[in-house]
């Protein structure tokens, strides 16, 4: 797996979402590098990790990253949140958790109403078979839908999408399967590290109410809703995200 390291200070791992790569955090990395030593991960099958043999599974990915980085604060965006949360729940080297537009369960259930229907990810999987490029384009459009800076964010994601090569179709299918099937809610009450949950008020993929519900189950958690932000708040609202991260570290000292 490819992990890019830059900056100086306390260690911070950043894990991207579906179909993208660590380069998506470039605006945030620019703000944070003077304060943190950043470890920008390319998940297996994505970016410079396109040929990685690490299975795209929370336990395997978390273990591989942990073996390559010092004790650190872990941040996961969207799909990346599943890997960060798994690490925080199981590995002693995780010093704090930041979930950005991410929850422990992405699909709706009778006891989990503020999430998407399973059919959404099933449809993306079917579409991927028939129209790879068009499916990725529709997904990144959802990432920016609703944001007050959505047009600029979409332009950025289009530029970034294949900047490190096209993601492997097998990895994309595996990621959709994770989004559809993973449920890490049971790990929340026993989290031993502080956590920050950053939601975009206008997010069309991850309902802020679902994030608030998840944060409410984790001890030592803080939920923040960013007005005007969509599913990728570190693009259009990068200064607000950076400020929340710095305040989280300053106040909790993970």
Spatial separation of the C-alpha atoms in residues 111 and 85, rounded to whole Å: 20
Residue 203 annotated in active site: yes
Spatial separation of the C-alpha atoms in residues 96 and 85, rounded to whole Å: 10
- Of the candidates 28, 12, 13, the one whose C-alpha atom is nearest the C-alpha of residue 238 is 28
- Of the candidates 43, 189, 185, 29, the one whose C-alpha atom is nearest the C-alpha of residue 102 is 185
Spatial separation of the C-alpha atoms in residues 147 and 65, rounded to whole Å: 31
- How many CA atoms are closer than 13 Å to the CA of 29, on its beta-carbon side? 18
List 11, 42, 143, 203, catalytic entry: 203
Classify strands 37-42 and 2-7 as parallel, antiparallel or unpaired: antiparallel
List 2, 149, 231, 237, catalytic entry: 231
Which pair of tokens denotes residue 104? 């422990």
Helix (H, G, I), strand (E, B) or coil at 183: strand
Helix (H, G, I), strand (E, B) or coil at 231: coil
Sign of CA dihedral 250, 241, 225, 101: negative
List 78, 147, 156, 221, catalytic entry: 78
Which helix (H) or strand (E) segment holds residue 185: the answer is none
Residue 78 annotated in active site: yes
Task: List the catalytic residues.
Answer: 78, 203, 231
């Amino acid at each position: 797996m490819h992990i890019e390291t830059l900056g100086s200070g306390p260690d911070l791992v950043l894990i991207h979402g579906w179909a993208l790569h660590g380069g998506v955090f470039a605006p945030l990395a620019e703000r944070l590098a003077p304060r943190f030593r950043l470890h920008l991960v390319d998940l297996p099958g994505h970016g410079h990790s396109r040929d990685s043999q690490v299975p795209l599974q929370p336990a395997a990915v978390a273990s591989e990253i942990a073996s390559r980085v010092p004790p650190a604060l872990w941040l996961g965006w969207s799909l990346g949140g599943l890997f960060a949360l798994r690490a925080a729940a199981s590995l002693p080297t995780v010093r704090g958790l930041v979930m950005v537009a991410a929850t422990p369960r992405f699909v709706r259930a009778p006891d989990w109403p503020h999430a998407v229907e399973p059919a959404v990810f099933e449809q993306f999987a079917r579409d991927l078979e028939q129209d790879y490029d068009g499916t990725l384009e529709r997904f990144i459009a959802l990432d920016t839908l609703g944001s007050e800076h959505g047009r600029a964010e979409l332009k950025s994601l289009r530029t970034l999408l294949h900047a490190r090569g096209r993601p492997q179709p097998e990895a994309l299918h595996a990621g959709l399967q994770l989004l559809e099937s993973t449920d890490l809610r049971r790990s929340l009450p026993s989290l031993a590290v502080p956590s920050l949950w950053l939601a975009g008020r206008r997010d069309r993929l991850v309902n802020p109410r679902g994030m608030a519900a998840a944060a409410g189950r984790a001890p030592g958690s803080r939920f923040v809703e960013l007005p005007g932000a969509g599913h990728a708040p570190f693009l259009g609202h990068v200064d607000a995200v950076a400020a929340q991260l710095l305040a989280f570290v300053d106040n909790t000292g993970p």
